[in-house]
Amino acid sequence: MTLLALALTIVPLVTAGPAQASTSCNALNDPSGDGFYYQGRFLAGFLQAGDVITISAGFPIGTAPKPFVPTAFFLGIGSFDAPPSVPGVNFPGTLVYTVPQDIMNVHLNWVTGPSIPDGYTVSVTWQVSCQNAPKSSPTLSTQASPSALLGGPVYDTATLAGGNAPTGTIAFRLYGPDDANCNGPVVFTTSTTVAGNGSYQSAAFTPSAAGTYRWTADYSGDGKNNAALSACNAASESVLIKPFAPPPPTSTLSGNVSGPVTVASGQSVVVTDGQVVGPITIQAGGALQLVNTKVTNGVVATDPSFLSICNSQVSAPSDAPTQGVVASGASTPLRIGDPTNGCAGNRIAGDVMLTSNTGGLTLGGNVISGNVTVDTNTVGTAIVKANTVFKALGCAGNNPPPVNNGQVNSAASKTGQCSGL
């Protein structure tokens, strides 16, 4: 039998939570009746772990005989017929329930013995309140990228800790150069989506001038977590961009040089106005600057600490045309021609291969008889501009994609990420 006449007096009362509390208790709707026993639904949004629901009920009154009058009420999670999630409370009484985990549905039920016969009414006065769980206050620690040469990238890493399953975003802003109080315009901004405690890295940016740059980072907060920030001049949030110049030379060469030439780790070799019978091999940690120099048998660099080739001629070995200029694994910016910034272009007989570098690179204003491959360079931007390539110019797997800064390259064909350059 179902109850046809059901008289209920419900007084929803949503109390204010503690300072900086969540808004999850806004999900507490006015209850409504359904079926042969009272079933109120709190829907609209969610209830958060730690919210406290308090329900006070008076004594049921009405025309129903005593065996049919409800004796107790309880909370259930899930369907209308969900079992009690806490022990029932007898009428009149007060039920206090702390939400153990985030939930979407809570049902307030009353129970009777046998079903109430048709034609009888039962009335109960209820008062419902919900106290928000306090928000967590996560910490935000930050670490700027190391100092770099002009042409290299900068980025920031923010670590969020102590949050309650945080979501939202972290916004990164970069100021400079030499903006000590971050009062000037933002030179770069980026944001990343938060999915839990952990470390989040900004996108990279390549400054156009030397000087000191300063990062700030701001966590937005969410329904469970307060906002957090790393302010201007926070520890480890400054990064120095130094002028593009080689380390102090350990060796300076000119004139005729009989090779092969090997630049070892810790060595810094400058060759000006020379003619080198190569190859020139730069080992990890070695630095090479070529200016107005002719090199035979190619230049090959693996993780160099510095590489700059300006106004020079480089030819690959006759039996290895792919070994014209090869550079890989560099974490500092590479410069192979950049007339716009005072490094005249080069003439390269053979291929140019620039792969898996992270410090940024510029290949500009060169005449190259072979193929050019710019692949899998990351973090720093690959600038490929104003080159004349007699064969194919191909780029793939670079992040960010290469750019030409408005100076179009000429090539027999352009493929991949270089198709539009």
Identical fold for domains 9-131 and 139-242, yes or no, is no
- Per-residue pLDDT reduced to its tens digit, 271-315: 999 999 989 999 999 999 999 999 999 999 999 999 999 999 999
Residue 8 pLDDT level (bands cut at 50, 70, 90): very low
Residue 41 is predicted with a pLDDT of 40
Mean predicted confidence (pLDDT) in 128-149: 89
Helix (H, G, I), strand (E, B) or coil at 68: helix
Give the pair of three-digit tokens for residue 321. Answer: 């045309």
Place of tokens 């300072």: 19
Confirm if 333 and 151 have CB atoms less than 8 A apart: yes
Mean predicted confidence (pLDDT) in 340-351: 96
- Per-residue pLDDT reduced to its tens digit, 197-224: 999 999 999 999 999 999 999 999 998 8
C-alpha span between 130 and 117 (Å, rounded): 34
What residues does each domain of the chain span?
Answer: 9-131, 139-242, 251-416
More confident residue, 19 or 87: 87
* Count of helix runs (H) and strand runs (E) in the chain: 0, 38
Give the pair of three-digit tokens for residue 119. Answer: 């034609």
In the chain, what percentage of residues exceed pLDDT 90?
66
φ, ψ of residue 27 in degrees (nearest 5): -75, -5
Confirm if 14 and 129 have CB atoms less than 8 A apart: yes
Residue 270 is predicted with a pLDDT of 97
Question: Which DSSP state fits 262?
Answer: E
More confident residue, 319 or 49: 319
Is 50 exceeded by the pLDDT of residue 368? yes
C-alpha span between 301 and 326 (Å, rounded): 6
Instruction: Find the Cα–Cα–Cα–Cα dihedral 251, 256, 262, 264, rounded to 10°.
Output: 0
- Per-residue pLDDT reduced to its tens digit, 27-83: 553 444 332 233 344 433 467 778 888 888 888 877 777 777 778 877 777 665 666
Burial readout 379-399 (b: 16 or more C-beta within 10 A, e: otherwise): bbbbbbbbbebeebbbbeebe
C-alpha span between 31 and 80 (Å, rounded): 13
Residue 28 is predicted with a pLDDT of 54
C-alpha span between 208 and 194 (Å, rounded): 30
Confirm if 145 and 207 have CB atoms less than 8 A apart: no
Query: Is the CATH code 2.60.40.10 the one for domain 139-242?
Result: yes
φ, ψ of residue 236 in degrees (nearest 5): 65, 20
Place of tokens 């500009």: 364
Fold of 9-131: Jelly Rolls (2.60.120)
The Cβ-side half-sphere exposure at 28, using a 13 Å CA radius, reads 25
Confirm if 329 and 309 have CB atoms less than 8 A apart: no
C-alpha span between 116 and 60 (Å, rounded): 13
Instruction: Find the Cα–Cα–Cα–Cα dihedral 81, 86, 90, 95, rounded to 10°.
Output: -110
Residue 230 pLDDT level (bands cut at 50, 70, 90): very high
Which range is least confidently modeled, 54-63, 98-107, 288-297, 339-348? 98-107
Burial readout 113-131 (b: 16 or more C-beta within 10 A, e: otherwise): eeebeeebebbbebebbbb
Question: Which DSSP state fits 88?
Answer: -
- Mean pLDDT taken over the chain: 85
Residue type, 268: S
Nearest to 309 by CA among 356, 255, 269: 269
C-alpha span between 239 and 206 (Å, rounded): 12
Residue 398 pLDDT level (bands cut at 50, 70, 90): very high
Place of tokens 């193929």: 371
φ, ψ of residue 19 in degrees (nearest 5): -55, 140
Q: What is the 3-state secondary structure (H, E, C) of 287-341?
A: EEEEECCEEECCEEEECCCEEEEECCEEECCCCCCCCCEEEECCCCCEEECEHHH
Place of tokens 């909370």: 75
Helix (H, G, I), strand (E, B) or coil at 365: coil
- Per-residue pLDDT reduced to its tens digit, 11-29: 333 332 222 334 566 555 3
- Per-residue pLDDT reduced to its tens digit, 147-192: 999 999 999 999 999 999 999 999 999 999 999 999 999 999 999 9
Residue 104 is predicted with a pLDDT of 67
Nearest to 166 by CA among 93, 112, 221, 203: 221
More confident residue, 93 or 7: 93
More confident residue, 264 or 78: 264
C-alpha span between 399 and 26 (Å, rounded): 44
C-alpha span between 368 and 389 (Å, rounded): 5
Residue 262 is predicted with a pLDDT of 97
